[in-house]
Amino acid sequence: MDNAAIEDMFETLGPVTIRRMFGGKGIYFQGVILALEVDGEILLKGDAETAPELEEAGSRQWTYDGKGKPVKMPYWSIPESAFDDPDEMGRWVRMAYAAALRAKK
């Protein structure tokens, strides 16, 4: 995904910073990482507070194969319905930022 498209997705927060990392991109707002771009997919930061709502909306948690067993990461796919609704996208983006701030503490 190109940087302009990513910036559009996160515009409700304000200007984001995008940095290349591990073959993907890290997406930051005010110096806090709140999302990743991996293989062309945007993954939002989640935590124990937001995970139930993300699951209910149809999101899936990002996992990778760590020495033969799946390792769950605190990042989630964006619910499909958000791609057609800027207000909903903004809500998920703000939730990801809130989760990122809680993780930073």
The predicted-structure confidence for 10-41, as pLDDT tens digits, reads as follows 999 999 999 999 889 999 999 999 999 999 99
Q: How far apart are CA 1 and CA 73, in angstroms?
A: 21
pLDDT at 69: 93
Find out whether 24 and 36 touch, Cβ atoms under 8 Å.
yes
The type of residue at 24 is G
Q: What is the pLDDT of residue 32?
A: 97
Q: Would the pTM count as exceeding 0.75?
A: yes
Q: Is 26 helix (H, G, I), strand (E, B) or coil?
A: strand
**Phi, psi of 37, deg, nearest 5:** -115, 120
Class in CATH terms, 3-104: alpha beta
Q: Where are the domains of the chain?
A: 3-104
Check whether 61 has a pLDDT greater than 90.
Answer: yes
What number is the average pLDDT over the span 61-65? 92
